[in-house]
Amino acid sequence: MTKDIATPGRTTEILKKYGFLFKKSLGQNFLIDPNILRRITETAELNKNTNVIEIGPGIGALTEHLARTSKEVVAFEIDQRLLPILADTLSPYENVHIEHGDVLKANLAEVIEREFSDSEAPLKIVANLPYYVTTPIILSLLHAEVPADSMTFMLQKEVAERISAVPGTKSYGSLTIAIQFYMEASLAFIVPKNVFMPKPNVDSAIVQLVRRDKPLADVKNVEFFFEVTRAAFVSRRKTLWNNLAQKFPELKNRREEVEAKLAGINIDLKRRGETLSIPEFAMLSEELEEILKK
């Protein structure tokens, strides 16, 4: 087997060979611990019948582990300087294709059809995401309805805790709801900052997202549902009523009417957004939409 890219010595050797300098603006932190990479592929539950999309392969440390454990890999890399490095480091793996470009601007359906020899094979997304663009990428993948069974991401620990949070905790918020509405989320394990080059300021974590058969709650107007959930967390210290009245000023003089309506679904306006479950937010948004139509 080829010598792992993800060791301090090999990574330093590759960077030196190509005179590569890290770009802070791209959030580049390369993993230098093969054990962490093996745990990531185990968490993602890959096999030789599985296709994988990777985002931000860097110098190919995670990519080679994906190539060893799955059928075919398409990796999106935005930094042109890394293309010749990847061509070199991943040359032993014929099942890898590097797609130069921004995954946020890509037509993923077209890439899947074009690059995977069997585009019907189960698809998984695995990525060490740059901190600065984590949320836009995850939400973009959800809204693009990419046919991925699961997504396994390395994220800043704090963001991972928010994504996998439960109601009633300080990490629970609109991001939690935006993701858990469609996906089951679990924090798999913590990744210490000392296994990266350069070393970031904070620890990371691996989050596993598995697509639900259907959204967690039955919602007629999904756009309005998310509008309500975002409004409920604008100021975490404020009550549900204060946040909603700020977002929907037309409610301000109708508190008694709103209270009476919400009493029927056991939602008290004195509660804070973080105490409501996703099904409760679904009921709240349905009732509010009815009230605002009058």
Question: Burial of 207 by CB count in 10 Å (0-12 exposed, 13-18 middle, 19+ buried)?
Answer: buried
Task: Return binding residues for S-adenosyl-L-methionine.
Answer: 29, 31, 56, 77, 102, 128
Helix (H, G, I), strand (E, B) or coil at 97: strand
φ/ψ (deg, to 5) at 213: -65, -35
Residue type (1 letter), 28: Q
Task: Return binding residues.
Answer: 29, 31, 56, 77, 102, 128
Measure the N-to-C terminal CA separation of the chain; round to a whole number of Å: 68
Sheet-wide strand order for 183-191: 96-100, 72-77, 51-55, 123-128, 148-156, 204-211, 183-191
Strands 51-55 and 123-128: parallel
